[in-house]
Amino acid sequence: MTDSQNNSVLPVARRTEIDDRAAVGIDFAESYDAGLIESILRRRFDALGFDPRSQAGRRVVVKPNLLIRYAPEKAATTHPAVIEAVCRIFVSAGADVMIAESNGGGYSEGILRPLYRICGMEAAAEDSGAVLNFDTSFRTVAYAEGVASKSFDILEPLCTADMIIDCCKLKTHALAGMTAGVKNMFGAVPGVKKFETHARYNHDLRMFFSFITDLCRLLYEAKDFLCITDGIEGMEGNGPSAGTPRKVNAILTSFSPFQSDVAAAALIGHEGQVPINELSCERGYSVQTGSELVISGDSIEKLKVPDFRPASPNPLAPLRNIPEVLRSRPKIDHSLCRSCGECVSYCPVKAIKLEEKRGKNVASIDTKKCIRCFCCQELCTFKAISVSGLPIFDTVNRLGFGI
């Protein structure tokens, strides 16, 4: 990661007119066939009145969710068939198309190469004519309207893009309830700077969600913006990385990630459980419920998966300002821990160390230091960390009452 260029201001596009086009397209799609997805998206763009040729000669940056170095089948990352389809459309429209991401770990070429390869982005870029980003510089961008912060460190390719395509994955999220369009833009913050952000909002979860909402809004206002949500196979349960793949059979398309996330929450039956959606609604960026949206394509009711399991067994987890004692916490399964040390390196408050337990070196959490950011749960590639609620919630969840 290289040094920032301080306090740039991104030029603001004519965004208000797009705010009024609050439509979300929802399309049934049950397989990861890039050709099929391409034709679905072309039809949807047409119906939304968007012509990709408007981007000819411009820089289009596709931002997937590549949270972790996992193969696409695990459903933790945006599927490469969706990325390939999106890139093909914009490459054939004459745009310069780049795929750019910074995941939850470090941000260097050495980290990006295997991330892109394992997540299928190398092949998606090659097959579509897009390029992969290896520029690890960033800018500190001023945003006077920010509520939680007035400045943001943002990946250089997103700063120089004419259009951002937020190609997110529909998943549960231990901290945020759900991750889709808005939360995906937290990946605009380079590498470990994300952990600094967690530490900064240590005891104020609402301000942390506010930071993410500000950041997404800044990029949405500054650039042409399109949000495409890969909900063909989402993730339920212990998301965003250690949950279970679950078919939703839907692709969502919208100019607004805020409105799109309202539809996404409704599709998985999690309305009222996503604090970032509440913030978006309070600020007037979105409607409150899926029933208020202008939907084109398939209806929410038709594709809804009402028993989509939440990330946490604690029903209070997505609520803000709950007492510390009632908050969910990370729990390590020592039988699965491989002592890789990833969680130790990335814990923003150094609450984890490796120590010997029953003759085995395993990760151990100092619960007094832990700020419940769940970065460790996101990043453990061995699924050794889960989210635990109070014993009563764990018991209810085990018994399958589906809170």
Interacting residue ranges for ligand SF4, rule: CB under 6 A: 330, 332, 337-343, 347, 349, 351-352, 363, 365, 370-376, 380, 382, 384-385
| Count of Cβ atoms closer than 10 Å to residue 122 Cβ | 17
- In whole angstroms, what is the distance from residue 400 CA to residue 126 CA? 44
Calculate the dihedral angle through the C-alpha atoms of 242, 245, 248, 252, rounding to the nearest 10 degrees: 50
Helix (H) or strand (E) holding 81: helix 80-92
Looking at beta carbons only, is 129 or 341 nearer to ligand SF4? 341
For the chain, how big is the Rg over CA atoms in Å?
Answer: 20
Q: Residue 40 or residue 343: which is nearer to ligand SF4 going by CB?
A: 343
Residues with Cβ within 8 Å of residue 313, at least 6 apart in sequence:
328, 387, 388, 389, 393, 394, 396, 397, 403
Cα dihedral value 278, 282, 287, 290, nearest 10: 20
Q: Which one, 93 or 337, has the nearer CB to ligand SF4? A: 337
The nearest distance, CB 327 to ligand SF4, in angstroms, is 10
Nearer to ligand SF4 (CB atom), residue 89 or residue 384: 384
Tell me, what amino acid is at 95? A
Q: How far is the CB of 200 from ligand SF4 (least distance, A)?
A: 13
Instruction: Work out how close the CB of 110 gets to ligand SF4 at its nearest, in angstroms, rounded to a whole number.
Output: 19
Shortest approach of ligand SF4 to residue 102 CB, angstroms?
Answer: 18
Judged by beta carbon, residue 22 or residue 351, the one nearer ligand SF4 is 351
Q: How far is the CB of 376 from ligand SF4 (least distance, A)?
A: 3
Cβ contact 256:189 at 8 Å: no
- Alpha carbons within 13 angstroms on the beta-carbon side of residue 26 total 24
Residue 142, beta-bridge partner list: 151
Write out the H or E segment, with its range, that includes residue 169.
strand 163-173
Q: Given the complex with ligand SF4, which of 58 and 383 has the nearer CB atom?
A: 383
Which pair of tokens denotes residue 260?
């799109």
Tokens in use for 192?
């470990």
Q: Which amino acid is at 115?
A: L
Label residue 131 exposed, middle or buried (CB < 10 Å: 0-12, 13-18, 19+).
Answer: middle
Residue 214 is encoded by which pair of tokens?
Answer: 């500000």
Decide whether 98 or 174 has the Cβ nearer to ligand SF4: 174
Minimum CB separation from ligand SF4 for residue 366, in Å?
8
Q: Shortest distance, CB of residue 240 to ligand SF4, whole angstroms? A: 13
Residue 239 beta carbon to ligand SF4: minimum distance, rounded to whole angstroms: 15
d(CA 372, CA 288): 27
Q: Of how many residues is the chain composed? A: 403
| Minimum CB distance to ligand SF4, residue 339 (Å) | 5
- CB-nearer residue toward ligand SF4: 25 or 105: 105
Q: For ligand SF4, which is the closer residue by CB, 123 or 340?
A: 340
